[in-house]
Amino acid sequence: MTVDYDPYSDAAMRDPRELYRRMREAGCPHHLPEYGAWALVRYDDVDQASRGEGCIDFSKGALLGQHLLGEPIPHTFMTMNEPERRPWRNILMPFYSRTAIRQEAGRLRALVQELLEPLLAQGSFDVYRDLANRVMCINAGHNLGLPRADAEYLRSLIDEMIMHREPGQKGGSSERNQKAAQELGGYMAAHVNSLRKNPDTAVRQAKALLEAEIDGQRLSDHDLINYFFSLMVTGSETTPMATAGVFYYLGKHPDQKALVVADPAGMAKAAFLETCRFDQPTNMLVRRAAKDFELGGKQIRENDVLLMIYASANRDEARFERAEEFDIRRQRRADLTFGTGPGYCLGANLAEFVGPMMVEEIMTGIGDFELIEDQCERAYGENLAGFNRVPIRFKPPA
């Protein structure tokens, strides 16, 4: 059976899930000869390619546009291969360990409670824009020492840059995307400049990066800008999408919502992780084959483009029972929400803490809710996918 799949087609950009299901049925990687690419849609294929010794070349970028459209590739640890990537990634590892996140738990919960309180009195709010996206941007800004108002402003640029796609648009090349990217880059350049002049003002991750040495060399301005830019962006969209998705899917499944209403602290994590599996926010990241190898019965050649479609792998019927059903009660099996191998998500511990904590705090605050379904919106994009507008209505607490 042939499936007419083009990652840039309007159908795939809007909702690729049916296409993914049909490609999975073929039981092997799906060849895209016009792009010299393979779509890896099965759990085992994404898992094996990601973990296979020396299979993946990270240096050609992580985004579809970098591989297929020649968009620029920033020099960060995300575009380095082992062993070069390790010291670059290690600068940040201490900030994202389980212990580090536990130490930040009180501050993060206080931030959520502070932003949530005025929303509770309103009787309705948008989980993505009014709360979850704000929390993650403010937190990413906090890590870099940015004022809160600036972090909140930057989130609008990130939305413009990553999430805004005109129908038929390929990649992040529109004037709107570019303008936002330049402004965000310009902001980070000014921040680096100011830290260079006043190094004593550097805090947390910014301080660690400013003071880090790799092979006896401090990081260049350019490297710092790339780090700051990436840290602002990677932390800001995925976790809020998954958190907003929790409220969408619970709204659509009242029996499961009742479980979370009855026990927010006990059920929030299961609801968050099931939403990540069922509606993976990182639709796909893209790599190159570093060598010839066989995958799922197909011969992959060195330099072939590999579309790692996590959103499909996480719904693979061969891996998950009733994979196409949303069920927060399911017996959990390891999934590919945060990927695997050398590129494993740096922020997984943060996401796994903050996402469920936001769900718990919201549900504890509102008791129960009704989904305003006709106002929900999904992002239209190739790399990220999910809800970026989920308004809910509830009875304001007395």
Backbone angles phi, psi at 58, to 5 degrees: -85, -10
**The one among 61, 245, 296, 339 contacting ligand HEM by CB under 6 A:** 339
Residue 20 or 77: which CB sits closer to ligand HEM? 77
Residue 77 or 249: which CB sits closer to ligand HEM? 77
Residue 169 or 295: which CB sits closer to ligand HEM? 295
Query: Which region, judged by CB under 6 A, interacts with ligand HEM, from 163-171, 187-195, 217-225, 346-354?
Result: 346-354
Question: Does 50 help bind ligand HEM (rule: CB under 6 A)?
Answer: yes
Taking residue 322's Cβ as centre, other Cβ atoms within 10 Å add up to 9
297-303 own/partner pairs: CB under 8 Å, 24+ apart: 297/27, 297/28, 298/28, 298/29, 298/31, 298/38, 300/29, 300/38, 300/49, 303/36, 303/57
Question: Does 381 help bind ligand HEM (rule: CB under 6 A)?
Answer: no
Query: Which region, judged by CB under 6 A, interacts with ligand HEM, from 30-38, 156-164, 228-236, 378-386?
Result: 228-236
Query: Which region, judged by CB under 6 A, interacts with ligand HEM, from 26-34, 154-162, 279-287, 370-378?
Result: 279-287
Question: Does 282 help bind ligand HEM (rule: CB under 6 A)?
Answer: yes
Number of residues this chain uses to bind ligand HEM (CB under 6 A): 27
In sequence order, which residues have a C-beta less than 8 Å from that of residue 252 and are 6 or more positions away? 326, 371, 373
Written in H, E and C, the secondary structure of 140-190 is HHHHHCCCHHHHHHHHHHHHHHHHCCCCCCCCCCCHHHHHHHHHHHHHHHH
In sequence order, which residues have a C-beta less than 8 Å from that of residue 172 and are 6 or more positions away? 63, 65, 71, 161, 162, 178, 181
Question: Does 288 help bind ligand HEM (rule: CB under 6 A)?
Answer: no
Spacing of C-alpha 101 from chain mean position? 18
For the segment 135-194, give every residue that binds ligand HEM (CB under 6 A): none
289 in helix, strand or coil?
strand
Q: What mask of x and - would describe binding to ligand HEM in positions 71 to 90, judged by CB under 6 A?
A: ------xx----------x-
- Bridge partners for 299 per DSSP: 294
Question: Does 240 help bind ligand HEM (rule: CB under 6 A)?
Answer: no
Question: Does 211 help bind ligand HEM (rule: CB under 6 A)?
Answer: no
Describe the chain by its helix, strand, coil percentages, rounded to 5. Answer: 55, 10, 35
Q: What mask of x and - would describe binding to ligand HEM in positions 241 to 270, judged by CB under 6 A?
A: -x----------------------------
Question: Does 3 help bind ligand HEM (rule: CB under 6 A)?
Answer: no
- Interface with ligand HEM by CB under 6 A: which residues? 50, 77-78, 89, 231, 234-235, 238-239, 242, 276, 281-282, 285, 310, 337-341, 343-347, 350-351
